[in-house]
Amino acid sequence: MTTAGEIMHAGAQWIPATETLDRAAQLMARLNVGALPISDESERLCGILTDRDIVIGCVAKGHDPAQVTAGDMAQGTPRWIDADADVSEVLEEMESHQIKRLPVIRDKKLVGMISEADLAQHLTEDQIAGWAEKVYARS
């Protein structure tokens, strides 16, 4: 059984909900990532911020990224997976919610993220094709 913990990119970092988007973009650049999990004051997942969120949801609308916070951008119910979950559960979670990045949690702590690149490195071509068809399908 392959687990989420085995295919994840370890070392993911939270961005506090109170942090501004300009600082979030700087952290993304430093870490070379396109998404950051957003944490509340108790270090619990309250959303995911993507580089696209910053550009489309803030900059393109004429807002100042130095004034808008990560928490302002958090929408919906955040999805995550336990590090010990089987890869089939990872795929089900991502496919059923049409998401491309999934935080990995162990003992209520962020331990990694699973992205398309991680899936591509660890899954068969058929698994990747099935995932892509479901995640990118228009609902």
As given in the structure block, the two tokens for residue 132 are 């892509």
Question: Could you tell me the residue ranges of all domains in the chain?
Answer: 4-137
Q: How far apart are the first and last CA of the chain?
A: 31
CB 118 within 8 Å of CB 104: no
Q: What was the pLDDT predicted at 139?
A: 56
Task: State the chain's mean pLDDT as an integer.
Answer: 93
- Residue 37 · residue 8 · CB < 8 Å: no
In CATH terms, the superfamily for domain 4-137 is: CBS-domain (3.10.580.10)
pLDDT in tens, 21-72: 999 999 999 999 999 999 998 888 999 999 999 999 999 999 999 999 999 9
- Region 91-103 average pLDDT: 94
Question: Do 81 and 6 touch, CB atoms closer than 8 A?
Answer: no
Q: pTM for this one? A: 0.88
